[in-house]
């Protein structure tokens, strides 16, 4: 049985988010949360919150549908980080010029499955 959770339009570039996603892919939920809690990257806290949300979804699905999901044996089966919309900003430069800056966002989706 699979359980999903999504985080959309979070203000971090997809490249930086993929660094953490690669570390927890294929790990158990407890191991993934431990890795994220010990990481010093800024995106580790929102990603840990997303993993906890997927875990809560599994518990809710288990109670509601009597799905028989063993919450202790869940692993991060897939985690995908896609690029979201970019916000364009202008930074003032010398002699009246302007430089365009892209503020990137990411969409993260996670799937937990039983081992």
Residue ranges and CATH numbers for the domains of the chain are 2-114 (3.90.470.10)
| pLDDT surpasses 90 at 67 | no
| pLDDT surpasses 90 at 75 | yes
At 55 the pLDDT is: 95
At 95 the pLDDT is: 97
Tell me the H-state helices in the chain: 14-24, 29-38, 44-65
| pLDDT surpasses 80 at 41 | yes
Q: For residue 70, what pLDDT band results from cuts at 50, 70 and 90?
A: confident
At 65 the pLDDT is: 83
Cα distances (Å, whole numbers) of residue 61 to 42, 58, 65, 101: 30, 5, 6, 43
* The model's pTM: 0.90
Q: For residue 71, what pLDDT band results from cuts at 50, 70 and 90?
A: confident
């Amino acid at each position: 049985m699979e359980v999903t959770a999504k985080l959309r339009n979070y203000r971090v570039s997809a490249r930086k988010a993929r660094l953490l996603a690669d570390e927890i892919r294929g790990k158990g939920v407890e191991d993934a949360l431990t890795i994220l809690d010990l990481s010093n990257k800024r995106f580790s806290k929102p990603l840990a919150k997303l993993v906890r949300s997927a875990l809560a979804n599994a518990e809710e699905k288990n109670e509601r549908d009597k799905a028989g999901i063993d919450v202790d044996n869940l692993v991060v089966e897939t985690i995908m980080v896609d690029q979201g919309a970019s916000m364009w900003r202008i930074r003032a430069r010398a002699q009246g010029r302007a430089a365009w800056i892209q503020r990137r966002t990411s969409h993260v989706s996670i799937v937990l499955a039983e081992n």
